[in-house]
Amino acid sequence: MHRKVILSIITVFLLGMSVYSQNPIVQTYFTADPAPMVYNDTVYVYTSHDEDSTKANFFTMYDWRCYSTADMVNWTDHGAVASLKSFKWLEKDNGAWAPQCIERNGKFYLYVPIHGTGICVLVADSPYGPFTDPLGKKLVESDHLWQDIDPTVFVDDDGQAYLYWGNPSVWYVKLNEDMISYDKSIGKNGVVSVDMLAESFGERVKKDGTPGTKYVEGPWFYKRNNLYYLLYAVNGIPESIGYSTSHSPTGPWEYKGLIMERHPKLAFTNHSGVIDFKGNSYFFYHNEALPNGGGFRRSTCVEQFEYNADGSIPSIASTVEGIKTGVAYLNPFKRNEAETIAWSEGVKTTGDSKNGVYVSQINNGDYIKVISVDFAKGAKMFQATVASIEGGKIEIRLDTKDGQLMGVCEIANTGSVDNWKKISTKVEKVKGIHDLYFVFKGKEGELFNFDAWQFSE
């Protein structure tokens, strides 16, 4: 049986649904620990990256990736924006754990833990990087390096920035305005330990002997309507997500309950992030639902939710549908990156300094889905930027993988896999809003690389 058929069967079996669903939001890589950031009408999600190896019996993580969206349903892959190699002084080849990025005064600060080393910071002029090391050493100087993981950062209305982190307890520092140093006049050389044994953070074991709701790891810190929220993993292994609130950025904290309970399709760890974007609220987390997924090969997901009237967070279920309705339509009459994807099967993305990020490892039967494309009064031509030795075809279909055929773009040999050519074809004129499918056809083996596409009226 062909590997693509097997992959389709496995996908349906593991996800328990049609392969056209929207969770996990990234299918080309295993991505975990999602950290969303809203900037200039765009959502950026920074993730850790679990390597594909099914033999791993621990986390194998070398770099941090970035994805963006303007509509919450189509995600553009910006590749690995930083890695362990970003720290020239670091002598570690594994341990790129959960990140978070924040913008301040036109600079972007990426806080990353390196397992067993501590917390470091990288700086860039763009949300895509390149991120560079401004310190030449770790940011957080403490005596609990193996517990210095999962940083979460927030700048309050008065300009004071806070960095929380930790497992199995939680600590914080008050960052200076430069965001790469902190006030060392408080706590123990600037590091303040929060009493996680307090009842405000729940109990490790309830009176009836069942697992409790005590803080474990993965904090996510933010403020909404003058109330501070701290979300975090609870219960031990496997983890649920709970939260506490406070009227001060440094507590005291009041435990409020569980948000997402442990579930068989979730990974044994979980890591949450929350944003408000264009009038909606979104909850990010990870599961292990992709083919060959597991506790060490996790995948980023997102759910839309509404706060209760009192500001409390409701129980949120993990779904395969994810975000059902986007907040904007995609314009097909401008250049769109091929790596802007709502759902895909079979393909990967590749990034390099010469060509940027593009879709690769395209085989016969693979496809890419893009949601809510606004064809307005109709399109007449389609253009694809591709590079190929083998060649193949792009079937342009509407609404389903086997839906109405708009046209077929014949991909010829361009001479090499990085010799990019623009190839055009006429398409049937279609009006209005549609989901768009690029279905790839050809001989056995990899067919071509796909960098961008655009329709013309």
**Contact indicator for 98, 91 with CB cutoff of 8 Å:** no
Higher-confidence position of 151 and 2: 151
pLDDT at 21 over 70: no
- pLDDT-derived band at 434, boundaries 50, 70, 90: very high
**Residue 197 clears pLDDT 90, i.e. is over it:** no
Q: Let me know if 157 is a catalytic residue.
A: no
| pLDDT over 80 (residue 209) | no
First to last CA, the chain: 42
> In angstroms, what CA-CA distances link 419 with 414, 449, 450?
6, 10, 11
Asked whether residue 128 carries a pLDDT value surpassing 80, the answer given is yes
Distance CA 208, CA 350 (A): 51
Considering only residues 3 and 253, tell me which one the structure prediction assigns the higher pLDDT.
Answer: 253
Helix (H, G, I), strand (E, B), or coil: what is residue 258? strand
Among positive and negative, which fits the CA dihedral 64, 67, 68, 69? negative
- pLDDT surpasses 50 at 71: yes
Look up tokens 């993305």; give the residue: 349
Q: Flag whether pLDDT at 203 surpasses 80.
A: no
pLDDT (mean) for 366-387: 97
Q: List the catalytic residue out of 33, 50, 217, 339.
A: 33
CA dist 205 and 244 (Å) reads 17
The pLDDT of residue 211 is above 80: no
Alpha-carbon Rg for the chain, nearest whole angstrom, is 23
In terms of Cβ atoms closer than 10 Å to its own Cβ (0-12, 13-18, 19+), residue 157 is exposed
Distance between CA atoms of residues 308 and 84, nearest Å: 41
What token pair was written down for 57? Answer: 């019996």
Which tokens hold the place of 200?
A: 């405000």
How many whole angstroms separate alpha carbon 383 and alpha carbon 422?
6
Based on the residue annotation, tell me whether 261 is a catalytic residue of this protein.
no
pLDDT, mean of residues 425-452 = 97
* pLDDT above 90 as % of the chain: 83
Residue 292 reports pLDDT greater than 50: yes
**pLDDT score of 212:** 58
User: Given this model, what pLDDT does residue 194 score?
Assistant: 87
**Mean residue pLDDT across the chain:** 91
Question: Annotated catalytic residue: which of 158, 199, 208, 310?
Answer: 199
Q: In this structure, what DSSP letter does residue 206 have?
A: -
- Is residue 2 scored above 50 in pLDDT? no
Write out pLDDT tens, residues 236-261: 889 999 999 999 999 988 889 999 99
Predicted pLDDT at 204: 52
pLDDT at 141: 87
Q: Taking residues 117-134, report their average pLDDT.
A: 97
Checking if the pLDDT of 399 tops 50, the result is yes
- Structure token digits, residue 131: 């991120």
The pLDDT score that the predictor gives to residue 202 is 54
pLDDT of the residue at 13: 37
* Average pLDDT of span 417-425: 95
pLDDT at 206: 52
Lowest mean pLDDT among 133-137, 138-142, 161-165: 138-142
pLDDT score at 30: 98
Mean pLDDT, range 412-431, rounded to an integer: 94
pLDDT single digits (tens) 141-173: 888 899 999 999 999 999 999 999 999 889 999
What value does the mean pLDDT take over residues 417-424?
94
* Residue 14 confidence (pLDDT): 38
